[in-house]
Amino acid sequence: MPKQKQRSGEANHSSRDSQALSVRSALSRHWPEYLIEAWGLGMFMISASMFTCLMEASASPVPHLIANPAYRRGLIGLAMGLTAIGLIYSPWGRRSGAHFNPAVTLAFLTLGKIRLVDAGFYMVAHFFGGTLGMGLALSLIGPALAEPRVNFIATLPGAAGINTAFAAEFGIAMGLMVSVLQVMRLAKLSRYTGLIAGSLVALFITFEAPLSGMSMNPARSFASAIAGHSWQHFWLYCTAPVLGMQTAALCFLPLRRYLKCAKLIHRSKHRCIHCEDCKTVTAR
């Protein structure tokens, strides 16, 4: 019995060492992709902060020139949609896969298109990058980010209440993920995945934001919450987007063989850490 216990303990120790080595190996091999994911959400937060201040801050001439807040929100949506498209199609976005969102990464994990260790590092990168981007925006823009109409670009439930905000976040997250997966699985349309995603971001900001603030992204809401010290409704933006995208992923499980990998835009000239059949894939 003591020998069996000893062998069992050695096996467990070996398993832990092997698992730790896998994490170290992933970090040493794939750290550029992790940093790209952090960079992507950080840039999105900086862009969102700047365009929102341009449209809403008291020192900006835009609110006087465009009195209707719906029109200003539409311009913010257009700017952020173009920002998302630019990030997704950028050389760095093509390399990492351009998730920039923990809920997106979890959906691809459910579909078996990304390894657990890479998914973990991606999600850590999202929270780190979003927070750093918000900090840089605050240092660049200053007090205008704290004005009530800007409010650190926080995502908050609208006048319709928390239940409506939860349903809206669930709906837009599921709708985005269903659209992305549907386009990704069709070879003739897969190149347009980024355009679809960016267009939906623009539409959701324009028309859905009054209901929930349009987050779809726990790390994006975290960055605003930590900057504005406002956590009252943060749980909503950690749960509804994840549940919405998980629902979409579960619906696509029977079709996952048609998805090449976890990249939104897949081109063989860019290194791929997610799929087996890419010629430039690194060691697994």
pLDDT score at 225: 97
Cβ-based neighbour number of residue 250 at 10 Å: 12
Please state the pTM of the whole predicted model: 0.89
- Cα separation, 92 vs 257, in Å, equals 26
Residue 222 near residue 235 (C-beta atoms within 8 A):
no
- Cα separation, 185 vs 220, in Å, equals 27
- Cα separation, 43 vs 24, in Å, equals 27
Query: pLDDT tens for residues 218-257?
Result: 999 999 999 999 999 999 999 999 999 999 999 999 999 9
With a CB cutoff of 8 Å and minimum separation 6, the contacts of 210 are 73, 158, 159
pLDDT score at 60: 96
What is 27-142+151-258's CATH number? 1.20.1080.10
Residue 194 near residue 265 (C-beta atoms within 8 A):
yes
pLDDT score at 282: 37
pLDDT score at 275: 80
pLDDT score at 189: 93
- Which residue's structure tokens are 């999600």? 123
Low-confidence ranges of the chain (pLDDT < 50): 1, 3-19, 277-284
pLDDT score at 283: 33
pLDDT score at 268: 66
Query: pLDDT tens for residues 37-78?
Result: 999 999 999 999 999 999 999 999 999 999 999 999 999 999
Domain spans in the chain, listed from the N-terminal domain onward: 27-142+151-258
pLDDT score at 266: 83
